[in-house]
Amino acid sequence: MSSTYRDLRVWQMAMRLVLDIYRRTQTFPREETYGLTVQLRRAAVSIASNIAEGKGRSSDKELLHFLSTAKGSLFEVETQLMIARDLGYVDTAHSESLLRQTSEVGRLLNGLMKAFRDAA
């Protein structure tokens, strides 16, 4: 496996997703500053952060716990993106692009979790 969390493709993709979420939420209405904007940003940050924290833990069991938490945050991001799309804060093209990114992060997370489960 990779030597640090920064070497993990899933972490790299999660970081790209965070940056894209931050860029996209800059155009959200001002009244969402403390609502959906913050929720979406925090959930996106949580994905990459939990991957990193899990990789820094001392056991595969702990890593799997943090990867599972990251997966939960990923589902939050997907749900919040759909809400933002339905409210008209994100157009269909951008929401589809971001949702494709979440799908890829999810696929990579599932693969990493499977690899660590199979190794145990």
SS3 33: coil
Asked if pLDDT for residue 43 goes beyond 60, the answer is yes
Structure confidence at residue 1 (pLDDT): 47
Structure confidence at residue 118 (pLDDT): 87
Structure confidence at residue 120 (pLDDT): 66
Average pLDDT over residues 44-55: 97
* pLDDT tens column, 28-41: 999 999 999 999 99
Instruction: Look at the alpha carbons of 78, 84, 85, 90 in this order and tell me if their dihedral is positive or negative.
Output: negative
Structure confidence at residue 116 (pLDDT): 86
What letter represents residue 115's amino acid?
Answer: A
Domains, the chain, in order of start with CATH, read 5-119 (1.20.1440.60)
* pLDDT tens column, 61-120: 999 999 999 999 999 999 999 999 999 999 999 999 999 999 999 999 999 999 988 886
Residue corresponding to tokens 């993990």: 8
Indicate the pTM of the whole model. Answer: 0.94
